[in-house]
Amino acid sequence: MEQLGIEYLEVKNGFVHARMPVNEKTRQPMGILHGGSSLALAETLGSLGSAFIVDLEKNDVRGSHMSANHLRAAKAGWVYAKAVIIHRGRNTHVWNIDILDEAEQLVSTCRLTNFIIPKESKKRISE
């Protein structure tokens, strides 16, 4: 995620906090934060959060569904994202990711569902 300038600030069980610059790499032509950049930030945090929780030698993490509501434009500076797990099942994780500007105003709120796939089932499918 170096391409977007994402910097991780805190990673712990069920929580990920990061920031991303609002600059020429993350803005759309109208000069505001691109919705796709916000989604990339949100999915990165939720996926990292799931990867941190599961045993990656035994499981893969795959995004299943992502949704977002963009509520405010960000034009410069940094946006800060906080991902919190709201469902931790055996086969699925659901994350809520809020993206805020430097004034702590909500820019976007996102929901990510990840599938947790046992690696053994992948082997059976490919055989």
Which position among 2, 43, 102, 127 bears the catalytic label? Answer: 43
Per-residue pLDDT tens digits for 36-90? 999 999 999 999 999 999 999 999 999 999 999 999 999 999 999 999 999 999 9
**Residue range(s) defining the domain that contains residue 25:** 2-126
pTM to 2 decimal places: 0.91
- Residues 6 or more apart from 43 whose CB is under 8 A from it? 63, 66, 110, 112
Confidence category of residue 120, pLDDT binned at 50, 70, 90: confident
The domain that holds 94 is classified in CATH as 3.10.129.10
Catalytic site includes residue 43: yes
What average pLDDT score do residues 96-106 get? 98
**Predicted local distance difference test score (pLDDT) of residue 108:** 98
What is the count of structural domains for the chain?
A: 1
Chain CA centroid to CA 127, Å: 32
